[in-house]
């Protein structure tokens, strides 16, 4: 299984869109892995998680054929995870030569936002479906189970457990400390990789997102439960510019805990 990290920043990007702080100025100067766009990932080129406003940039930068993506799972409606209006670019006039529909999955608020943006489109182009916590979708190439997040009390935010070709990956952001019902599911499985929210870096834990300390705590609880083994990978992503840590800083700090600091364009093979 190849997990291609398209974006690894929080909502504002890193460097942030309008920001002139020292951290953003340094990231602009250094470039490379210090430049982060809004978070998303593709699994084996066909299964995508989230649809941020930087999707066109991701496609152009990384040479992605987005028409190959058959299934799109949305975590929640915050603007850095769902630019629903761009889904209309898959409809007639805007897109040609497509082989089948893009199947979009999300909870109530996601379905509502997508319907508002594109109406009820031709199901041969775009199919929008509601997915509930603990529901499993068999896409034909993978099984994806929705798990509750702890992120925004005004909507049902989801995390995803992805099972494909005998491998299991937990896609765990955006979220704060995991709900106990999510733990009950994770502690009874074995994971080849856990991808975790690290928005707050070394800043204090704030509730709706994790920091490095919380990421380590989740890693340790997964390991204690036997959900992680010696070959399992733990990846931190979704970094805010406010943490003041460039990529080398994150690699140094997280590396001591054997946690991978994701960067835009990184491909993790498990």
Give me the domain span that covers residue 258. Answer: 2-269
For residue 135, the domain's CATH number is: 3.60.15.10
Give start and end residues of each alpha helix (H) in 31-152: 55-62, 108-118
Query: Which strand (E) or helix (H) includes residue 224?
Result: helix 212-225
Query: What per-residue confidence (pLDDT) applies to 230?
Result: 87
- pLDDT tens sequence across 90-133: 999 999 999 999 999 999 999 999 999 998 878 889 999 999 99
Contact 106, 130 (CB under 8 A): yes
Query: What per-residue confidence (pLDDT) applies to 28?
Result: 98
Separation of alpha carbons 8 and 208, rounded Å: 17
Query: What per-residue confidence (pLDDT) applies to 1?
Result: 97
Query: Which strand (E) or helix (H) includes residue 5?
Result: strand 2-7
To the nearest 10 degrees (0 to 180), the angle between helices 247-255 and 212-225 is 40
What number of residues does the chain have? 270
- pLDDT tens sequence across 143-174: 999 999 999 999 999 999 999 999 999 999 99
Number of domains in the chain: 1
Confidence (pTM): 0.97
Residues of the chain with pLDDT under 50: none
Contact 261, 250 (CB under 8 A): yes
How crowded is residue 167: how many other Cβ atoms within 10 Å of its Cβ? 17
Query: What per-residue confidence (pLDDT) applies to 122?
Result: 82
Query: What per-residue confidence (pLDDT) applies to 25?
Result: 98
Separation of alpha carbons 121 and 49, rounded Å: 21
């Amino acid at each position: 299984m190849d997990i291609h990290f398209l974006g690894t920043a929080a909502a504002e990007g890193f460097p942030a869109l309008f920001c002139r702080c020292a951290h953003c100025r340094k990231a602009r100067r250094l470039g490379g892995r210090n430049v982060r766009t809004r978070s998303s990932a593709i699994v084996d080129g066909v299964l995508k998680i989230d649809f941020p406003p930087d999707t066109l940039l991701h496609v152009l930068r990384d040479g992605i054929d987005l028409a190959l993506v058959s299934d799109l799972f949305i975590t929640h409606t915050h603007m850095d995870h769902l630019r629903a209006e761009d889904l209309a670019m898959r409809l007639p006039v805007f897109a040609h030569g497509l082989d089948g529909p893009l199947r979009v999955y999300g909870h109530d608020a996601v379905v509502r936002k997508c319907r508002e943006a594109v109406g009820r489109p031709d199901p041969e182009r775009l199919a929008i479906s509601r997915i509930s916590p603990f529901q499993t979708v068999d896409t034909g190439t993978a099984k994806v189970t929705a798990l509750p997040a702890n992120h925004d009390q005004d909507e049902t935010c989801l995390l995803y457990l992805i099972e494909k070709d005998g491998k299991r990956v937990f896609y765990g952001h955006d979220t704060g400390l995991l709900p106990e019902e999510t733990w009950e599911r994770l502690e009874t499985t074995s994971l080849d990789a856990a991808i975790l929210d690290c928005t707050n870096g070394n800043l204090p834990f704030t509730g709706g997102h994790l920091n490095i300390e919380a990421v380590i705590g989740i890693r340790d609880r997964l390991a204690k439960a036997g959900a992680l083994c010696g070959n399992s990978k733990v990846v931190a992503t979704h970094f805010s510019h406010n943490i003041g840590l460039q990529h080398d800083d994150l690699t140094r700090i997280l590396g001591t805990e054997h946690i991978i600091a994701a960067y835009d364009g990184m491909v993790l093979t498990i």
